[in-house]
Structure 1
Amino acid sequence: MTLSYDLYWSFRSPYSYLVTPRLATLERDHDVTCKVRPVYPLAVRTPEFFEQQDPLWVRYFMVDIFREAAFRQMPFRWPRPDPVQRSPEEGYRMQQPWIHRLTHLGVAAAERGRGLPFLKEVSHTIWSGETDGWHEGDHLARAAARAGLDLAELDDAVAADPDRYVAIVEENQVAQRAAGHWGVPMMVFNGEAFFGQDRVDQLKWRMEQQGLGRR
């Protein structure tokens, strides 16, 4: 019996980047499928979240993401440019074309059954530090190709019906909160939420209780 779970995931989340290879390995080695459900990052959904944080939160966050990347032996650097733009006047309350495009492309990839490979390849391009200007040239096209997809075809699909992709993301965000949390990465299996990149072992453990088998 093939098991499945929902993955709520953001292209602006370093922890989403850091968890994806382990989820890809889980799907490669075990009889389980991941239903990718991209969401907009908190900076877009609720920009006031970052305006209200204690300065210690930011300091610890920056220490922890670099430490986690080193622990996982994954290349890491804050993206250049940041997928979410910020201005001194508006903060995050401004037009966000990059993160909207990425999120909608993620939806399109998921609809073609290549959601997890797309997340893995694109997030590596954005977060690994190996690519400056990830939004320019053919960087995203090559990442999509590695995931078995055609970036131009994905872009055309989104452009043909942009409101539908916005609606799907918004539905994902409603479902995410209904499942018990608002953060990413968040995996939901049989109605149980596993929030955070450090919950993969618990997710697998719970699946094993429900008969998870190896491929």
Structure 2
Amino acid sequence: MARHIDYYFSTPSPWTFMGHAPFMDLVRTYSLDVAFRPVALGPVFAETGGLPLPKRAPARQDYRLVELQRWRVKRNVELNIHPRFWPFDQTRADQTIIAALQAGLPVDALMRRIFAGVWQREENLADPATLAAIADEVGLPGSSLVLAAESEAAASAYDENRALAIAAGVFGAPSYVLDGEVFWGQDRLDLLADALASGRSPYRPIKAQ
């Protein structure tokens, strides 16, 4: 039976962008069953003690800028450190992905193209026409998906993703949850690969006695 992973991600996240392709490589290698769960990080941070980027200490903000440079080289990807349309309201982009999932459509190519739009192509992913054109480009029905993204069903699923993320112990994106064990960050993909290869039981927090 295929192993299941809950994949919590955020469309404005550079770490989600850089981790998506190698994660999908793992999906293919291990024939994983994946629940794609876009999630708004603001409410997750509020529930789990995280801070949005502008409220972090300057040293942390500076370190992030260095890490972005390191990882774009490590992953061999083009990445604009300061994209023109970032940050942006991610709701429509996230719910467009949800609408595709609810329609039974594949989302890998759509996600890759959305991430590229943010971090490589200087596109405004809050704009519905841009999203529709992107979906069309990857062979999906753009106009109908963007319309469905405004539905109560998409909004409800988006809210549910947030609740599921918090219940699972997720506090940032991307997070990959395997058998209840959270792997936070694209820099943990090697550890996720190790867990998949070994078939080990999930680790749990060991509380002090």
Q: Shared fold by TM > 0.5?
A: yes
TM-superposed CA distance for 1:67, in Å, is 1.7
Match of 1:192 among 154, 159, 181: 181
TM-superposed CA distance for 1:185, in Å, is 0.2
Corresponding pairs, count: 195
Aligned pair in 2 of structure 1 residues 70, 180: CA closer, same or farther (>3 Å)? same
For residues 53-103 of structure 1, give each alpha carbon's deviation from its aligned partner in whole angstroms, at most 9, with x where no partner exists.
21111111111112211221100013321142xxxxxxxxxxx4xx11111
TM-superposed CA distance for 1:209, in Å, is 2.9
1:59 aligns with 62
2:81 matched to 1:81? no
Asked if 2 retains the 8 angstrom alpha-carbon contact of 1:187 and 1:193, the reply is yes
Aligned pair in 2 of structure 1 residues 104, 28: CA closer, same or farther (>3 Å)? same
Aligned pair in 2 of structure 1 residues 175, 59: CA closer, same or farther (>3 Å)? same
Percent identity between matched residues is 25
Q: Which moved more, 1:26-35 or 1:130-139?
A: 130-139
Match of 1:172 among 161, 176, 179: 161
TM-align CA RMSD: 2.6
Asked if 2 retains the 8 angstrom alpha-carbon contact of 1:125 and 1:140, the reply is no
For structure 1, the residue ranges without an aligned partner over 5 or more in a row are: 85-95
Q: Which moved more, 1:107-116 or 1:177-186?
A: 107-116
Asked if 2 retains the 8 angstrom alpha-carbon contact of 1:114 and 1:148, the reply is no
TM-superposed CA distance for 1:27, in Å, is 2.3
Give the 5 Å matches for 1:51-130: 52-77=55-80, 78-84=82-88, 96=89, 99-111=90-102, 112-128=104-120, 130=121
Q: Which moved more, 1:165-174 or 1:67-76?
A: 165-174
2:9 aligns with 9
SS of 1:188's partner is: strand
Asked if 2 retains the 8 angstrom alpha-carbon contact of 1:36 and 1:116, the reply is no
Asked if 2 retains the 8 angstrom alpha-carbon contact of 1:125 and 1:139, the reply is no
TM-score, normalised via structure 2 length: 0.81
1:207 aligns with 196
For residues 22-65 of structure 1, give each alpha carbon's deviation from its aligned partner in whole angstroms, at most 9, with x where no partner exists.
12222233311321000113389649644542111111111111
Asked if 2 retains the 8 angstrom alpha-carbon contact of 1:43 and 1:49, the reply is no
TM-superposed CA distance for 1:137, in Å, is 9.2
2:40 aligns with 40
